[in-house]
Every structure is written in structure tokens, then in C-alpha cells.
Amino acid sequence: MSTVRFYIALIALVLASCSNEVVYDVGTLEPSNEGNKTELKDDLQFMSIAYRDLFGEEVPPDVLSTMRKAYISFGDKELIIDEIVQTMLVSPDLDLPSDAAIAADRSAFISDTYRKFLLRDPSDFELAFWESQLIEQTDLTAKDVYYVFMTCQEYKYY
């Protein structure tokens, strides 16, 4: 009986000596209300969202299947995503703003483009930058600007 008491006392001593020590504390996390995008879109999400942003509708299953097959069959994933974006931008079904419409109201085109692809309004600096680009680079089309936005780092996140 004394051996059992010894083991019980030993177990109690071991348990009492264990302390719950904090090894790694991340602190209190607060949700960000600033609209910062932190989640990377996976490639299939990217293709589906890009289609919706351009055409204003969900990607049809046959189109998604074609994009998926192209994506799976090619080794360089970044290259195939770029090719898919370029293919969508030259689609005859895509309704792009005309050069005359862009020239008539550059600020509206830029703001609409930011909202369409980046889901936010441009800063004053961004607005001024793009207005100057559209004035100085007279050969820039909506397709060119859309391509820049769709391939920028911010567009890859949500």
C-alpha cells in the first residue's frame, strides 16, 4: 500500500510542477477595416474572377473547362494565366470603352477601372498618374489599361 501512495504522491508532484508557460503569443488580432487585401487568389479563382470582372457574368462551364484544361496542360502557370488574360481581352464578346469615351472623361474611366478590378477608388496620386499616362500615351487603349490592372500584384489578392 505504501508503494501505491508513493506513486500517487510522485504523480501529484509531477503534475503540480508542470506549468502552462506561454511559448509563443501572437497577441490580440484586430480585424482590418482599411480594405487591405491579404488572401491570394488561387489560379482557378483568379481566372473565374477575371472573367466575371471583364464580362459582367459568371464564367460559363464550357469556358471554365477550356481554361482549366489549358492551365493543367502547361507547365509555366504564370505564362498560361497571362495568355488566358490576353485571350479574354481580345474576345469579340468583350465590350470595352472606346478611345473617344475614355478621352471624354479620363477620370471616370480610371475610377471605374479601379472599382472594376481592384474594388476600390484610386488615390489622388493614382488618378493623376493615370490621367497623365492617358494624355501622354495617346495609343493606350482600354485593353492596355485593363491588362495592366489584371496583371498587377494587387489584383492577385482579395
Q: Domain for residue 76, yes or no?
A: yes
> Residues 84, 105: one domain?
no
Q: Domain for residue 6, yes or no?
A: no
| pLDDT at residue number 76 | 86
> DSSP characters for 33-97?
-S----PBPPHHHHHHHHHHHHHSSPPPHHHHHHHHHHHHH-S-HHHHHHHHHHHHHT-TT--PP
> Residues 90, 122: one domain?
no
Q: Per residue in 75-108, is it b (16+ CB within 10 Å) or e — as a string?
A: eeeeebbeebbeebbeeeeeeebeeeebeeebee
> Residues 154, 107: one domain?
yes
CA–CA separation, 74 vs 15, rounded Å? Answer: 58
Q: Domain for residue 129, yes or no?
A: yes
Q: Domain for residue 157, yes or no?
A: yes
Residue span of the structural domain in which 48 resides: 38-94
CA–CA separation, 137 vs 26, rounded Å? Answer: 48
Q: Domain for residue 2, yes or no?
A: no
Q: pLDDT tens string for the chain (158 positions)? A: 555 565 565 555 544 555 555 544 445 544 444 557 788 889 889 999 999 999 999 999 999 999 999 888 888 889 999 999 999 999 999 999 999 999 999 999 999 999 999 999 999 999 999 999 999 999 999 999 999 999 999 999 98
Q: Domain for residue 67, yes or no?
A: yes
| pLDDT at residue number 137 | 94
Count of structural domains within the chain? 2
> Residues 157, 104: one domain?
yes
> Residues 80, 108: one domain?
no
Handedness of CA 8, 10, 15, 17 (dihedral sign): positive
Q: Domain for residue 27, yes or no?
A: no
| pLDDT at residue number 64 | 92
| pLDDT at residue number 8 | 61
Residue 116, SS3 per DSSP: helix
> Residues 88, 114: one domain?
no
What is the helix, strand, coil percentage profile of the chain, to 5? 65, 0, 35
> Residues 101, 127: one domain?
yes
> Residues 118, 106: one domain?
yes
